[in-house]
A = this chain, B = another copy of it.
């Protein structure tokens, strides 16, 4: 069925072949066979790639992403950790909301320096109390995992 040449995958996903090779090298995705030398991918790789993109925009490292939807689509990490990550995302969404508001404020407020505008300061202050600071992954070399879905 869905056997796609790497070039096709690249074109459809927008992810360059070099990156696809890199992702395969670190175990994030897997090519299913070869046609001559050319890697062939299952159509599912496209879904996997959007998952990866999603994870990246959320600020996760490739290593973390690999963990979340690890070998054969089942996560490497326990339920509660997954929920914890989901909670992280929730918090991050709140930060994003603050930043969005700050940006809109900056675009509209005529104050000379925004750090002096009380509205702006209040905006930030609200975001400032309750700083949690994400642990920042840890996990040195490449070779992220082995399998996938």
Partner-B contacts on A (CB < 8 A): 14, 44, 46-48, 50-51, 53-55, 57-59, 68-69, 72-75, 79, 82-83, 85-86, 89-90, 92-93, 95-100, 102-104, 106-108, 112-116, 121, 124-125, 127-128, 131, 133-134, 149
Contacts and interface: CB of A to CB of B under 8 A. Distances in A.
A115 B73 contact: yes
Secondary structure type dominating chain A contacts: helix
A108 B133 CA distance: 27
Given A83-B107, A100-B90, A69 B114 contact: yes
Contacts of A69: 106, 114
B74 A103 contact: no
The 9 closest A-B pairs by CB, nearest first: A73-B113, A82-B107, A115-B149, A89-B100, A73-B114, A86-B103, A79-B107, A50-B128, A54-B99
